[in-house]
Amino acid sequence: MTSSHALLFLWLTGIGLESLLVMRALAAGWFKKYPFFFAYLMSVFLLDVFFLAVYRFRFGYYAPLYWWAEFFSVLVGCAVSWEIFHLVLGRYPGAGRMARNVLLFALIMVIVKGLAELLSGEISWPSTAVELERNLRTIQALSLIVLAVLSFYYAIPIGRNVKGIFAGYGLFIATSVLMLTLRASVGDAFQAYWVLLQPLCYTAVLGVWCKSLWRYEPAPPQELQSKIEDDYRSLALATRKGLLQTRAFLGKSTRP
C-alpha cells in the first residue's frame, strides 16, 4: 500500500469512527453530559469531511486552510481539557475551581503570546501556528499529568466514560506534543512520517473512545471522604495569609 493510499485509508477510517461516535451520542443524548468533548468531536468530524473533499478536488487550497482549521481545533481542544478537569474534580468545588482557573490562565497566556508574535509580523502564520499548537498541547499535557497524579493520590472515583475521554485525549495530546517537537527539531525530513503518524495515532484514540463511550457508566460512589478539599482549604488559607503579610510589609516600607 502506497503512502497516499494508506493516508486515505486512515482518513476514511477516522471519519467512520467519528461518525459512529457522533451517532451514538445523538442516540444516547450524551451531548448534554459531555458538551465540550462532543462539540470538539463534531467539529473535527466536519473538518475531516471538508478537508477530504479539498484534498481530493482542490488540493491547492489545502495548505493555507489547514493551519487555520488546526488552530480552531486546538482552541476547542483546550475546552476539552477544561471539561476533563470539571468531570474529574466536579465533586470538589474548591479544588476543582482552582485547578480549572490555573489551566485557563496558562492557556490564555500562551494564546496571547502567540497572537502577539503573529501581529508583530516577526513569524509567518504557519510557523506561528506550529509553535502555538505545540505550546498549547504542552500545557494541556502537563495539566493532565498533574490531574492524573491527583486522581491517583486522592483516590478520586472516575467512571468508565470519563476514564475513556481522559485516557484517549491524554494519548492524543502526548503523541501530538511528541510529533510537533520532532517536526520542529528535525524539520521537513519528518514531514513524510508526520502525515501518516498523525492520523494513525488519532485513529487509535478514536478506538479508545468508541470502546469506552459505547454505553453510559456513571462514576462510582466515593467510599471515604477525600482529603483534597481539606488540602485546598489549607493551601488557600496559607496563600491568603501570605498575601496579607506581603501587603502589610509593603505598606510599612512605603511609609515615610
Residues 134 and 245 in one domain: no
Mean pLDDT, rounded, for 105-126: 73
Range with top average pLDDT, 29-33, 200-204, 230-234: 200-204
* pLDDT higher than 60, residue 225: no
Residues 92 and 148 in one domain: yes
Alpha-carbon distance of 135 to 177, in angstroms, equals 8
Alpha-carbon distance of 206 to 173, in angstroms, equals 13
Kindly report the three-state secondary structure assignment for every residue of 157-215.
CCCHHHHHHHHHHHHHHHHHHHHHHHHHHHHHHHHHHHHHHHHHHHHHHHHHHHHHCCC
Residues 208 and 231 in one domain: no
Alpha-carbon distance of 110 to 75, in angstroms, equals 11
Range of the domain at 48: 3-223
Residues 233 and 163 in one domain: no
Residues 12 and 104 in one domain: yes
pLDDT value at position 123?
A: 59
Residues 52 and 152 in one domain: yes
What is this structure's pTM?
Answer: 0.82
The CATH number of residue 76's host domain is: 1.20.1070
pLDDT tens, 31-45?
888 999 999 999 999
